[in-house]
Structure 1
Amino acid sequence: MRFGDGAPVTAYAGDLVSQLGPTFTFQQRDTRHPGLDGARGLAVMAMVIGHTLDAVLSPTVREDIWVQHYWTCRGITAPLFLMVAGWAVVAALGSKPTAARDTYGKRVRRALLLIFLGYLVHWPGWSTVIHMGLTEKMLTKVFTFDALQCIGFALLAGATLLAVTPGRWGRTAMLAVMTVGLPLVSADVRAMSEGLPGPLTQLIGSDGFSRFAFFPWAAYFFAGALAANLLGALRPGVPQGLALLVLGGGLFWFMRGQPQDWGPASAWLVAYRIGQGMMVLGFINVLPRKVSGLLAPLGRLSLWVYVLHLPVVYGWSSYAGLSSRVGPTLSLPAGLGIGLALLLGCALVARLGTWLRDQARPWRTGSTTLEASVGSLGSRGS
């Protein structure tokens, strides 16, 4: 094929590339971090199977030593989701000084979507709302605060702070203060929330309310953002993975030597889980790309798998879920089978939904998705 003067198209393309410089490419760059989607995929797998087992395993099976070990390991799932979300937000900013301000509106919209979906999956139904009336008890039930809302509010706070904090070192200091400060003040802030309206108490945190309150759970988001900011100069993959393994292993080892406190507002527990989360991220990063890539497709669908599986397991509105229809009656193999089937089914539905969305909006195909820039999600298990 030639233009009117007879020069081939390839010659024009070559001239254009030479003028734009060696970094120019006609192909869209892959801006996704090679380890983040794999970490999300591992976390969402543990989340769905963990929720299913929690809903259907019989009390006798729960007492098994291996199941108890699994419950202990499962506690990293929600912190890992939050850390990946924070990492993804900072990694997406790149080196452009004004990136945080330029993308602020998009971040706010995504945060509001996460908060809306988080409250939606806990909707108790109109019959419950009408029966309870306009009371604080009803508002507390309608505005049940869970991990997805925590990610949304953390993203909202993080995007705002990143947009107003100048310079790389200023951003580093801000993220460090939030990572360390939130757990340290959580016990006092939660104590001061006593007597506030139920929805606000759940957000802030108080004994007997949300297990994923902003204080101290948002610290995991800022810890992931801080790690991304500090390690951004390293190449994704093995270099970043080794750094994460060293930092996470050192923090984990140090915290194991400190007095243990497994309370809901424990600063020790937050640091302990951050160390574990960094080691998991490091392990996924050092894996060969072909191995971590097996989990990546599931990681990219993690938000929608989260939204889809919760009503199936725990019910939604007036529809009963597995926890009510089956109850704690099954053996471990049966529970694992149901969990894997649910994971596969939700992933297929989510993939079909994203495909239909892409067909309806072809101009958006290939753009960064919600899961890529926000991270994903949380879990009921802790």
Structure 2
Amino acid sequence: MLVMIETHVVNALLFASLKDETPFKVLTFVNGLVAPSFLFCAGFGLAISLRRRWAEFVGFGKPLWRYLFRLAFIMVVAYSLHLPFFSLRRMRGLTESQWIPFFQVDILQVIVVTLLFLILLACAVRNRSVFRSAALLVALAVVCLTPIVNGMDFSQLPIWLRPYLSAQYRSQFPLFPWSAFLISGTVVGFYFMDASDWQAIWMKWFACSAAAGIALSLLAEALPVNLYPNHNFWHGSPDFFFVRLGLIGLPLAGLWYYERGKRGSAFSLVALFGRESLLVYVLHLLVVYGYTYEWSFVRLFGPTLSYPECLGLFAALTISMYIVAYVWHRLKGWNMRAAQAVEVAALGSIVAAFILK
């Protein structure tokens, strides 16, 4: 989450001429691992939930319905972030072309749709081993089909569906290949927890597999043979997917060894941002990209800042997000009903303002 905040601040505010220089290109490649990592961790989180309450999920118990309700809430939030106007009255007069930005697909939509698919898959197969294998096959299918899907024309599909399938329709995160990162996280999560008695050995194997995946993918790219027409390593190729997946896996293995045996604070920056990731994600996006708000960074500054100035705003925003996350987490720990009342009141106020404005 920290690197995600930095990515958004720099991309939105850095002076345009600086983006043509080598340091920004290197930073862009590193920052490009943020979204795959976020998706991978979301999938790993699903693995934890399913592994602990498998019978209740596949048996359509209360945990399943609570999880589905949360997914529905996240989807509403995801589309709300794309409102062209914060006014129901003005929204009614939009033309079809003006609706396009609203229906663009970002990372939250990918998370919701992919998690929903995996839950339905689990309920269908009802066996953990079968689910794990089926999810792995789906991930491989998504990766291998991405170059083909990217070349297809989806213009005849509904305006809300096209962005899920191709980046041609103002979609930053089409399901091909981005859903495969999340599914990979779920598969790895299941294998990791199944190795509860020998996790240290399994983690070494995982790190070696990640390194091998990077090496083999780069080697395959260097070969004078392409399986796909119009091959582009940087745009949807399986080779680039496995390079990024390996670059995610290596630091995750390192972090596991670093944290092994340590008792981290529940209120450390990383831990707190992990627990309150949705809150931090939504708030920092509004602060940075809230085009309809005069106090947003893009309205106040625009792409006019240097690296030190971006760093200063990143630090200030991180501190602010930590304070908000800390207060909210404390409130939930002190009195969950009070926190729910605050949540309902805040959401009700937002909806009322949207309707009445």
Query: What's 1:353 paired with?
Result: 328
1:310 deviation in Å?
0.5
1:333 deviation in Å?
1.3
The answer to whether 1:323 aligns with 2:298 is yes
Distance in 2 between residues matched to 1:277 and 1:196, nearest whole Å: 34
Would you say the 8 A contact 2:195–2:202 is kept in 1? yes
Would you say the 8 A contact 1:139–1:199 is kept in 2? no
Alignment of 1:1-382 (within 5 A): 44-94=1-51, 98-101=55-58, 102=61, 103-126=63-86, 130=90, 133-190=93-150, 191-235=152-196, 238-259=200-221, 261-289=232-260, 290=262, 294=268, 295-319=270-294, 321-361=296-336
1:240 deviation in Å?
4.7
Structure 2: gaps spanning 5 or more residues:
223-231, 341-357
- Tell which deviates more after alignment, 88-97 or 110-119: 88-97
1:352 deviation in Å?
1.4
1:82 deviation in Å?
0.7
Change (3 A) 1:332 1:238: farther
Change (3 A) 1:95 1:309: closer
Distance in 2 between residues matched to 1:291 and 1:96, nearest whole Å: 25
The Cα offsets for residues 267-289 of structure 1, whole Å up to 9 and x where unpaired, read as: 33222221111112212111135
Bigger Rg, structure 1 or 2 = 1
Would you say the 8 A contact 1:240–1:285 is kept in 2? no
Letter matched to residue 317 of structure 1: T
1:131 deviation in Å?
7.5
Change (3 A) 1:240 1:88: farther
Would you say the 8 A contact 2:272–2:326 is kept in 1? no
How many pairs are equivalent?
322
Change (3 A) 1:97 1:88: closer
- Tell which deviates more after alignment, 260-269 or 155-164: 260-269
Structure 1: gaps spanning 5 or more residues:
1-43, 366-382
Would you say the 8 A contact 1:137–1:198 is kept in 2? no
For 2:161, what is the secondary structure of its paired residue?
helix
Distance in 2 between residues matched to 1:95 and 1:303, nearest whole Å: 22
Change (3 A) 1:333 1:259: same
1:127 deviation in Å?
5.9
1:242 deviation in Å?
2.4
Distance in 1 between residues matched to 2:199 and 2:316, nearest whole Å: 31
For 1:346, what is the secondary structure of its paired residue?
helix
Would you say the 8 A contact 1:88–1:225 is kept in 2? yes
RMSD over equivalenced CA pairs, Å: 2.8
Distance in 1 between residues matched to 2:49 and 2:244, nearest whole Å: 24
Would you say the 8 A contact 2:162–2:169 is kept in 1? no
1:239 deviation in Å?
4.3
Distance in 1 between residues matched to 2:144 and 2:153, nearest whole Å: 14
- TM-score normalized by the length of structure 1: 0.76
Distance in 1 between residues matched to 2:291 and 2:299, nearest whole Å: 11
- TM-score normalized by the length of structure 2: 0.81
Letter matched to residue 156 of structure 1: L
- Tell which deviates more after alignment, 347-356 or 145-154: 347-356
Distance in 1 between residues matched to 2:339 and 2:92, nearest whole Å: 44
Change (3 A) 1:239 1:317: farther
- Tell which deviates more after alignment, 125-134 or 82-91: 125-134
Would you say the 8 A contact 1:48–1:309 is kept in 2? yes
Query: What's 2:227 paired with?
Result: none
Identity of matched residues, %: 23
Distance in 2 between residues matched to 1:80 and 1:134, nearest whole Å: 36
Distance in 2 between residues matched to 1:262 and 1:139, nearest whole Å: 32
1:71 deviation in Å?
1.0
For 1:80, what is the secondary structure of its paired residue?
helix
Change (3 A) 1:116 1:131: closer
Distance in 1 between residues matched to 2:240 and 2:89, nearest whole Å: 36
